[in-house]
Amino acid sequence: MAAIRSNVVAKRPGYNIIYLVEVGKILHQTRQISSNESINNTKPKRIRAISCDVTGTLVSFLGRIEDHYGDAAHVCGIEISQEKKLLIPQSFNKAYKETSAAHPCFGNSCISSKEWWRRCVKRSFDLVGTSMDEPEEERVFQRVYSTFGSHAAYGVFDDAKPFLKWCMRHGIACGVLSNADERYGDSILPMLGLSDHMQFFTFSKNVGVEKPGKEIFDAAIQDAQPWLCLGNKRSDIKQLMPEEVLHIGNDYQKDYVGATSAGFHAVLLDRYDEEEVAKRWREGGAPVFKDLIDVVEWLGREQYELGSRDECKI
């Protein structure tokens, strides 16, 4: 339940493991080319870890926030006029900003993330002009909070799980780096069937810094390090370096500027065909793709070596 935009999950037929296997063959060929180039003292580029934003990258919000909030109120006996219901998105955005300013990073260590959302949801209804007493406010909040922990509010992009499996097969530590609270890692991603294919989870709630702050990217490196050679007891496994991490997101300042300023490679996804936005991203220097399959193909074209296999050999 981060800053919300209403979208249907984008789908493109054919996202499956077989397709990624074929792309993997291309990557194998490019790695052979990279090895030949290294003979000529050209140091190959390597990606040992990939960090992903969540919403708009792996997961999409489903439905409209005005419907989710309005339905929660209706179930609790609170009727909201259609005119007021249409005000919910802008009221939520304002409440989200106010709550973030008062309690950065979803409260960090000061208040629980659930309490943070309680205050944000209450403020959203206040701004709409909905009158409720405290028991009503709590009942409506619990409904909203439950909705945004369920399949009713989230869908997985078709290419997400095949991409995460592809990362695992290539020895790439893959995880989440997001301006979000820990509920994504604790319940939402497991509910969506994604957490089993991810290794590390870096959330602003836990770090106390949001993207584009360098500290959260540094934290992701530390979170990814133990997963580079899981089960290998060697003590000389090379420290993960920023230039060995690729970050994938959908916000120019937070995901591209933040990541590259921290030394990461970074690409952006234009999941919703926002041509003018994508054009500005490209003009700012960001590689922009439609989906994660395009990212895999780009890694092949750019001749990146993948994973930590050399370091993990005993």
Q: Give one DSSP letter per residue of 112-143, joined into a string.
A: -HHHHHHHHHHHHHHHHT----HHHHHHHHHH
Sequence-ordered strand ranges (E) for the chain: 45-47, 49-52, 59-61, 154-156, 173-178, 200-203, 245-249, 265-269, 288-289, 304-306
β-pairing, 173-178 vs 45-47, is unpaired
Place of tokens 């936005």: 277
Tens of pLDDT, residue by residue over 279-290, are 999 999 999 999
Tens of pLDDT, residue by residue over 22-32, are 555 544 444 44
Mean residue pLDDT of the chain comes to 88
pTM: 0.86
Q: How confident is the model at residue 260 (pLDDT cuts 50, 70, 90)?
A: very high
Q: Which residue has the higher pLDDT, 230 or 228?
A: 228
DSSP 15: -
CA dist., res. 195 & res. 230, Å (int):
16
53 closest CA partner among 274, 283, 234, 212:
212
| 168 SS3 class | helix
Provide, rounded to the nearest whole percent, the portion of the chain with pLDDT above 90: 80
| 186 SS3 class | helix
Cα Rg of the chain, angstroms: 21
